Structure 1
Amino acid sequence: MTTSKINWIKLAPWLYTAGLFIVWELIVRAFAIPQFILPAPTRILEAIIQFWPAIWKNSLQTLYTTTVGFILAVVFGLGLGIAIGWSRFIYAGLYPLMIGFNAIPKVAVVPILVIWFGIGTIPAVLTAFLIAFFPIVVNVATGLATIEPEMEDVLRALGAKKMDIMLKVGIPRSMPYFFGSLKIAITLAFVGSVIAETVAANSGLGHMMLAAQSQFNVPLVWAGLIMLAVEGIAMYAVMAWIEMRMTGWAHRSQLAQA
C-alpha cells in the first residue's frame, strides 16, 4: 500500500465527518427546519460553548460510570467466559440463564437497582456492567469452546492435560475474540450508563439531556449526544489500539492483503 493511500485512509474519518456536518447544516438552512425539530450543527456548537462547564462536568461523570462498569464487565466476563468455555456442564447450565437475563431490557432493571442502592452513581455503574457483560462472556466462551477436536486429540496423545490445553491453546486462541468483544462492550456500556442516568441520577449526560429536554433546549440535547459520540469513539479507539497491540499476530494476514 502506498504512503499517499495510507494518508487518505487516515484522513477518511475526518473528511466523512466534516461532510456529514456540512450536509446537515445545508439541509437545515435550505428547508428552514425549526430548531426544536433539528438544530443546525452551528447552533449545537453554540450550545456546547454556552453550556461547556455543565457539559464537561456531566461528560466526566458519564465517562467515569461507564469506565467503572466496563472494567467490572471485563473482569467478571472474562472469568465467567473461561469457566463456561472450560466445562460443558457449566455451559449447559448457565448459558440459557444468561440468554434469558440478557433478553430483559436493562431499563426495566434500573428501578430495582434504585430500590437497592438509591439514586446516584451505583445504578449507572451496574447498568453499564450488566449491558456490557454478555458480549464479553459469549466471545470468550466461543473462543474456548471452538478448539478443533483434532487438535485436542493430538495434544492429548502428546501427554497434555486439560489444563495444559486450556492454558497453552485455548486461552491464547480466545484472545482475539476477547479483545474484539471489548470494542462492542465499551459502546454498550455507554448505553447502560445513559439509560440509568435518565432514570435515576443527579448528574451525567443522560441526566443533563433529560433536564434540557424538559426545558425544550433541543440544541443542548444534541450537544449531549455529540459528547456521547465523541466519548464512545475515543474509548472504541482505545480498545482497538489495545486489540492490535495484544493480538496483532491475528491480524497480520489481513494487513498483508491490504
Structure 2
Amino acid sequence: MLARARRRRRLQRVLPWLVVLAAFLLWEGVVRLFQVDPFILPAPSVVLGSIVQWWQPLLENAGQTLMTTLAGFALAIVFGLALGVAIGSSTLMYHGLYPLLIGFNSVPKVAVVPVLVIWFGIGTVPAIITAFLISFFPIVVNVATGIATVEPELRDVLRALGARPVDIIRKVGLPRAMPYFFASLKIAITVAFVGSILAETVAANSGIGQLMMLASSRFDVPLVFAGLLVTAAMGVAMYVVAAAIEARTTGWAMRGQQGQI
C-alpha cells in the first residue's frame, strides 16, 4: 500500500509535464502532417525559434505584464477579501450589494478599458485597474460563500457561549472561508493576466499585449504565439504558487481527497 501511494505521488508530479509534452507533440505533428503555413498556425518548433530570437523583448515585456498583473491581483485580494467578509457576514449587505456586483461584473471589460484610458491615459494604470476589475469578483463571491455557509447551529452555540459576531467571523467564518478563498485565488490570478493583456492590446507602451499587437501588425504570427506561450507560462507559475500556499495553509480541507484517484 505504501509503495502504491509513492508511485501515485510520483505519477502526480510527472503527469502534468507528460500531458503538456504530448499536447506539443500533437501540435507539431498536425502542423507537419497537413503542412500548415506558419502564417496560419506555426509549429511549436517555429514558436520556440521565435522565443530564442526575440528573448530579450519578450523578457522585458513579460516583466511589465507580470508587474501590472500582480499589482491588480494584490488590490483584488485586499478589496475582495474585505468586501467578501462584509457580504458574507451581513444579510443586508448581501441583498444590497450583490445585484450591483453582478451587474458590474456583467459589463465586458473590453468596453471599460477605453474609459480607463480617457481617465488615466496610456500606460500602466489602465492595465492594473483592468486586472483588478476582472479578478475582483471571484474572490468576493467565494469568500462571501464561505462565511455565509457557516452552520446556523454553530452560530447559535457560539452566541450562547458569549461570542460576539466579530468573534464568530474571526474564529469560525474566516477559517471556514479559507478553502473558498484559495480556490478563488487560483481562478483570479489566471484571469488577472487576461485583464492586463487586454488593456495592453488597447493602449500601452509596453507589455506582452503591446508586443503581440506589434507582431500582428508585422504579420509575425510565430512571435504572437510566443507571447501567448510566455503569458501561459506566467499564469501556470502563479497558479502553482497559489496552490502551494493553499496546500500549506488549508491542507486540512484536502485530507479526504488524498486517497482518491
TM-score between both structures, scaled by the size of structure 1: 0.97
Q: Which residue of 1 aligns with 2:8?
A: 5
Q: Which residue of 2 aligns with 1:221?
A: 224
AA aligned to 1:152 is: R
Matched residues in 1 for 2:123 and 2:245: separation?
Answer: 31
Q: Which residue of 1 aligns with 2:102?
A: 99
AA aligned to 2:192 is: A
Q: Which residue of 2 aligns with 1:190?
A: 193
AA aligned to 1:5 is: R
Q: CA deviation at 1:67?
A: 0.5
Q: Which residue of 2 aligns with 1:19?
A: 22
Matched residues in 2 for 1:117 and 1:244: separation?
Answer: 39
Q: Which residue of 1 aligns with 2:156?
A: 153
Q: CA deviation at 1:62?
A: 0.5
AA aligned to 2:53 is: Q
Q: Deviations over 1:34-65 (max 9, x none)?
A: 11110011100110011111111111111000
Identity %, equivalent residues: 61
Q: CA deviation at 1:257?
A: 4.3
Matched residues in 2 for 1:57 and 1:196: separation?
Answer: 17
AA aligned to 2:40 is: I
Q: CA deviation at 1:22?
A: 1.1
Q: Deviations over 1:58-114 (max 9, x none)?
A: 111110000000000000100111111121111111110000000000010001110
Aligned partner of residue 37 in structure 1, secondary structure = coil
AA aligned to 2:147 is: L
Matched residues in 1 for 2:66 and 2:146: separation?
Answer: 29
Q: Is residue 82 from structure 1 mapped to residue 99 from structure 2 by the alignment?
A: no
Q: CA deviation at 1:8?
A: 2.0
Q: CA deviation at 1:2?
A: 2.9
Matched residues in 2 for 1:29 and 1:186: separation?
Answer: 35
Taking the TM superposition and a 5 Å limit, the aligned residue runs for 1:129-140 are: 129-140=132-143
Q: Which residue of 2 aligns with 1:117?
A: 120
Q: Is residue 239 from structure 1 mapped to residue 242 from structure 2 by the alignment?
A: yes
Q: CA deviation at 1:24?
A: 1.0
AA aligned to 2:65 is: T
Q: Which residue of 2 aligns with 1:180?
A: 183
Matched residues in 1 for 2:40 and 2:253: separation?
Answer: 46
Aligned partner of residue 201 in structure 1, secondary structure = coil
Q: CA deviation at 1:4?
A: 2.5
AA aligned to 2:212 is: M
Aligned partner of residue 35 in structure 1, secondary structure = coil
The match for 1:37 among 27, 37, 40 is 40
Q: Which residue of 2 aligns with 1:167?
A: 170
Q: Which residue of 2 aligns with 1:49?
A: 52
Q: CA deviation at 1:163?
A: 1.7
Q: CA deviation at 1:171?
A: 1.1
Aligned partner of residue 38 in structure 1, secondary structure = coil
Q: Is residue 202 from structure 1 mapped to residue 205 from structure 2 by the alignment?
A: yes
Q: CA deviation at 1:206?
A: 0.5
User: How many residues align structurally?
Assistant: 258
Aligned Cα root-mean-square deviation (Å): 1.0
Q: CA deviation at 1:161?
A: 2.1
Q: CA deviation at 1:151?
A: 1.2
TM-score between both structures, scaled by the size of structure 2: 0.96
AA aligned to 2:205 is: N
Matched residues in 1 for 2:225 and 2:67: separation?
Answer: 21
Aligned partner of residue 109 in structure 1, secondary structure = helix
Matched residues in 2 for 1:7 and 1:172: separation?
Answer: 31
AA aligned to 2:171 is: K
Matched residues in 1 for 2:260 and 2:72: separation?
Answer: 37
